[in-house]
Amino acid sequence: MRVLSVASECVPLVKTGGLADVAGALPGALAREGVEMRTLLPGYPAVMAAADGPAHDLGDLFGGPARLVEGRLGEATLYALDAPHLFDRPGGIYLGPDGQDWPDNPQRFAALSRTAARVAAEGVGGWQPQVMHLHDWQAGLAPLYLGTQAAGSGVATLLTIHNIAFQGLAPAAMIDTLGLPPAGFTPEGYEYWGQVSALKAGLVHADAISTVSPTYASELLTPEFGLGLDGVLRARRADLCGILNGIDEDAWTPPYRTPRGKGRHTRRLRDELGLPEREGPLAVVISRLTGQKGLDLLIEALPALIDGGGQLALLGSGEPVLEAAFRDAAAASPHVAVRIGYDEALSRRMIAGGDAILVPSRFEPCGLTQLYGLRFGTVPVVARTGGLADTVIDANPAAISAGVATGLHFHPVTADRLAQALVKMTALWHDRTLWQRMMRNAMAQPVGWDVSARAYADLYRSLATPS
């Protein structure tokens, strides 16, 4: 089974979020299922550093010369779209140094989609995929481009929605620039409130659609979560499924084998962050500081944790008003430590040392943070939404009685309900026997890729045309 994965980011080369973790983990996980997955990425400088193999000329691509350069992504093959006029620039992969979207993002990721369609239709170096697995809006135009190439009619397409909030919008005036068929600019096609939507193009034209948890798949069919695309998804309900993300369990192995080993890491983390010893749980947050992640709710609910004897350690960056609010909270209490920014090594020490990890997201397609928490016995406290609901077993009376609880849910997603969950978490922490059992349950929970990789492989095979 030959699959081309098309993504805008991928660990270990370039990462801004969970999409990169998934794109980096899939080739290895699927190899065990008999799937040869090759990955196509934009040729950012970090990606080109890993691409030192044969090059294939692509001619002019949206205003400049382009090549497809082969490299290695672990044990798998990497294809880098080398188009310096689109990808060799300072700043972030989506945002310029001014913090705003690159104005040519529509062309940049249309180039990625067009190249994916060309590889699918023509192959490269004698290799041709049976399935294209497309990730988010950045690859969303690929099925539309592929449909214009007769040679690609035997290649199936799967679009995975990692977060429907990002839709890849462009002005209608760019239809010709992007090489899109004007007849498709309709409400039944890629038109979205008078604009071009790359994500909608993929949702309409891909052979199948997946998202990253079963609950999120159901939520997307509603106006609350579908963000204007719920009607499209309801029309394609039969082609939509939810497959949970996993994590690389080898890369995320706790530095202790049992819950009893966590204590010294908790003490070290308190020392590192300047938190005093306290007879209460140390809760950690590692997140983008945005409204979607519910961090404004945590500001309101924080007194319930601190007054109850707990502490908070937070690592993240995002909306300036939230950054300022957490800095103020740290200044007001010795039991709050805040680090603005991102530090991979510190995040791992926080997960190892924290008693609980808080994920109060208003919506969360899957989430990886709670999976890291489970793996490390750092009990997740999560909003009951999306993949959070699918991966954490709530400590309700039935689950506690059965001895299967791995964390806590709260719903609806409000500051008051979060505060109640923090009070309950503190009470459970003080029942050391129960808390240790929850930690053991969490650490025993399967969070790797085995089950999900098998589901993807089965889906690919159901889509592929034998060749």
> Cα(308)–Cα(303) distance, rounded to whole angstroms?
8
The pair of structure tokens assigned to 172 is: 């209608």
Sign (positive or negative) of CA dihedral 364, 366, 371, 372: negative
> Cα(240)–Cα(134) distance, rounded to whole angstroms?
14
> Cα(207)–Cα(134) distance, rounded to whole angstroms?
11
Amino acid identity, position 431: D
Instruction: Judge contact between 367 and 361, C-beta under 8 A.
Output: yes
The pair of structure tokens assigned to 26 is: 């899939």
> Cα(343)–Cα(338) distance, rounded to whole angstroms?
12
Reported as type and span, the H/E element at residue 224 is helix 223-226
Nearest to 203 by CA among 213, 189, 215: 189
What's the CA angle centered on 9, arms 251 and 119, to 5 degrees?
Answer: 115
The pair of structure tokens assigned to 429 is: 């922490």
Q: Which residue has the tokens 């929970």?
A: 445
Please indicate if the annotation marks 293 as binding a ligand.
Answer: no
Reported as type and span, the H/E element at residue 160 is strand 156-161
DSSP characters over 85-122: HHH--SS-SSB-TTSSBPTTHHHHHHHHHHHHHHHHHH
Nearest to 13 by CA among 99, 78, 105: 78
> Cα(379)–Cα(375) distance, rounded to whole angstroms?
9
> Which residues, other chains included, contact 82 with Cβ-Cβ below 8 Å and sequence gap of 6+?
43, 48, 51, 55, 66, 67, 68, 69
User: Binding site, residues?
Assistant: 15
User: Binding site for ADP-alpha-D-glucose, residues?
Assistant: 15
